Amino acid sequence: MVHLFRTSLGVMALAAAAFGAGGGADAANGPFLAHQALYDLSLVKSRSNSISSARGRILYNFGGSSCEGYTSEFRQVSELDSGEGKVTLSDLRSNSWEDAAGKSYRFKIETRMNEADAGRVDGSAERDGDHINVKLKLPAPKSFTLDGNVVFPTEQIQRIIAAAKDGKSLLELSVYDGSDDGQKVYNTLTVIGQPIADDRAASSPDPSTSDEHMKSLKRWPVTVSYFDRDVQQKEGEQTPVYAMAFELYENGVSRQLVLDYNDFVISGAMGKFDVKDSKPCN
């Protein structure tokens, strides 16, 4: 999930990039699943002792089909306590639509920190030959082009699942999701682990592992690291802006989230999971 502003706090919202994806093609066992998922957030560790506690929730709705495109609605409310009574509340809302072929992408993102005015991004992107045309309405009208090798969030997850099915362990992609001010592209490195057998009991069961729609599906442990493409790499390895680890089902559902923001790590446990009705393609 993605997903979704990139301050040391707000970057938590980028989960939408992963959660906001359902895949751009039918999976081997049927289409990507229309569903609603609720994740409960909690602090795993604070490496710099900058955060003493964290809590929050992510509510994610995914729907659509390969003929009408995919929609995602995402909301993340997070509360970070840095100690001494300093609490920061963030609220992110994101709505997006992406066509199944990864050619068109529309997005609206609203972020709010404490009582400050909300920041808004509203725009669209269209693939045209070897480039992508982006038009922003907010935060200010602007048009620009991106390299044609950039992918949108839904296609990102589609490609991860395809790579996993092919037995690949590494995948590099440049991703545009409209976050920040709508002008940022991130380089990503995805590490894919061995598939988890569908008959293997989960160490931490949740509503997805007990759902009848999910029991026969493969899933893979996945870690996606996001790098700022505009930052020149110095000597040594570039540090990711953040990384997300999760178990990814072949129908696009994610569970066992771990969001690593360098200074601190947040986990997202699935607290609720509902399969939604979806119209089949004609």
Domain spans in the chain, listed from the N-terminal domain onward: 10-275
pLDDT digits (tens, 9 = 90+) for 127-155: 999 999 999 999 999 999 999 999 999 89
Give 16-54 pLDDT, tens digit per residue: 333 443 333 333 334 578 899 999 999 999 988 778 899
CA distances from 130 to 24, 103, 127, 147, 229 (A): 20, 11, 8, 7, 19
Residue 20 pLDDT: 41
Residues 193, 36: Cα–Cα separation, whole Å: 26
Q: How many CA atoms lie within 13 A of 9 on its CB side?
A: 24
In the prediction, which pLDDT does 118 show?
87
Q: How far is CA 281 from CA 20, 23, 53, 118, 181, in A?
A: 21, 15, 46, 38, 35
Identify which has the larger pLDDT, 202 or 269. 269
pTM value is 0.86
Percent of the chain with pLDDT over 70: 86
Cα-atom radius of gyration of the chain, to the nearest Å? Answer: 18
- pLDDT > 90 fraction of the chain, expressed in percent and rounded: 52
pLDDT value at 15 more than 70? no
Q: Which residue has the tokens 């200010």?
A: 140
